[in-house]
Every structure is written in structure tokens, then in C-alpha cells.
Amino acid sequence: MPSQSLDYIKSTIKTIPNYPKEGILFRDITSLLENPEAYQLTIDLFFEHYKNRGITKILGAEARGFLFGAPLALALKIPFIPVRKPGKLPRETFSEEYVLEYGTDKLEIHTDALTPEDKVLIVDDLLATGGTVVATSNLVKKAGAEVVGAAFVINLPDIGGLARLESEGIDCYCLTDFEGH
Ligand SMILES: O=P(O)(O)OC[C@H]1O[C@H](OP(=O)(O)OP(=O)(O)O)[C@H](O)[C@@H]1O
Ligand SMILES: Nc1ncnc2[nH]cnc12
């Protein structure tokens, strides 16, 4: 892996202390998106990693998953499937509830978005607890398709999502690690 590229990508991500609440170090990818060189490099690294894996569809969860999943799908010339918060998708959906720090939320996917032949890659900006990706993976299973893996720009190793996803059998590729919560 080209470590200079990874250092450059990491350097464009800003950290905002105490957002959205006291004690959280918010890793902000909007500053990466504002830098076309870093944004392109990020998509290029994902493309190189996944180009020969037989992936048939990319899934990204609303909202930040769209920002990296959609350009990667275009680069790979395969469909992008949005996974959305409840009530946003107009056709019939599968739903999956997942646990947040306070309470629960739901993610949905169109029931006709995947077929049992699909080999799916889940893409997101950041891996914290892994709850979002486990819920997305459960939606893929409901549709009868296979999860090939999950890709992230940022992993927060101190939160433990990587171990959780690997224990669920989800192979992960993370470009950068940021210590702390
Ligand atoms: O590993 P987890 O603990 O699930 O956390 C990571 C998720 O949290 C953030 O999304 P958020 O739910 O804040 O929604 P947003 O993309 O709409 O900002 C982030 O974009 C990931 O999807
Ligand atoms: N520390 C963090 N920074 C940005 N997004 C997050 N989502 C969950 N934890 C986060």
C-alpha cells in the first residue's frame, strides 16, 4: 500500500474536539472532499484494491457512505445501491433496526435492488462500532445476496468495530486509523 498516499489522505481529514458532544473527537471528511487530489486518491486506492474481486454492486449507507460508495461504483462500472434512513425509499423495502449510543435507528434497502447472484461491497467513510455495517450486511442477507467485504476511509481502532465485523465474517479494508474516541 502506498504509505505516502495514505499519509496525504490522512492529513486532509480534520479533527473537531467535543463534537457533536463532549469527549468525542469528530473525524471530519468534508475537508477531504474539498481536496480533489485527496478525494481522487481515495477512490483510486479503493479501485485498485477491489477491481478484480468479482464485485457486482456497491452499497453505501446514508449519508456519508454515498460520498465514497457512488464514485467507487462509477470507477468499477457497477451499480450503486443506496441504503437509506426510514421512509426515504419509494418502493418496497427490507428494514433492519440497529442500536445507537442512545436508542435505535433503522436502515432500508429496496427489495429488488439485489439478487442472490450479487457479490456486494459495503463502503462507508468511517468505522466506529460497526453497527451501521452489520445492519447493512443484514439487509444484504435478507435479499439473499453475499457480502464480499467492507471498505472505510477511517477506522477508529479504540472503539472495536473492526474486530466485531471480522467476527461476523466481514472482510474489511481501512485506509487510515485514528486513535481515540
Ligand atoms: O460504525 P458505527 O458505530 O455504525 O458508526 C459509523 C457510522 O456513523 C456515521 O454515520 P451517521 O449514522 O452519523 O450518519 P451520517 O452519515 O448521515 O452522518 C458514519 O458515516 C458511519 O456510517
Ligand atoms: N468520531 C467520529 N467522527 C466522525 N464520525 C463518527 N461517527 C461515529 N463516530 C465518529
The pLDDT tens digits of the residues spanning 114-132 come to: 999 999 999 999 999 999 9
* pLDDT tens profile 8-48: 999 999 999 999 999 999 999 999 999 999 999 999 999 99
If you write DSSP's letter for every residue of 71-124 in order, what string do you get? HHHHHHT--EEEEBSTT--SS-EEEEEEE-SSSEEEEEEETTS--TT-EEEEEE
What's the one-letter identity of residue 57? Answer: K
Give the torsion sign (CA, 7, 154, 122, 141). Answer: positive
User: Is the ipTM of this structure higher than 0.95?
Assistant: yes
Beta strands in the chain (DSSP E): 14-17, 25-28, 57-61, 80-83, 93-99, 104-110, 119-127, 146-155, 172-177
Mutate to test the pocket of ligand 1, among 29, 126, 132 (most ligand atoms within 8 A of CB): 132
pTM check: above 0.95 = yes
Q: How far is the CA of 124 from the centre of ligand 1 (A)?
A: 8
The C-alpha atoms of residue 53 and residue 46 are separated, in whole angstroms, by: 12
Proximal ligand: closest to the CA of 179: 2
Question: What atom of ligand 2 comes closest to residue 25's alpha carbon?
Answer: 1
Which residue puts its alpha carbon closest to atom 2 of ligand 2?
26
64 carries an active-site annotation: yes
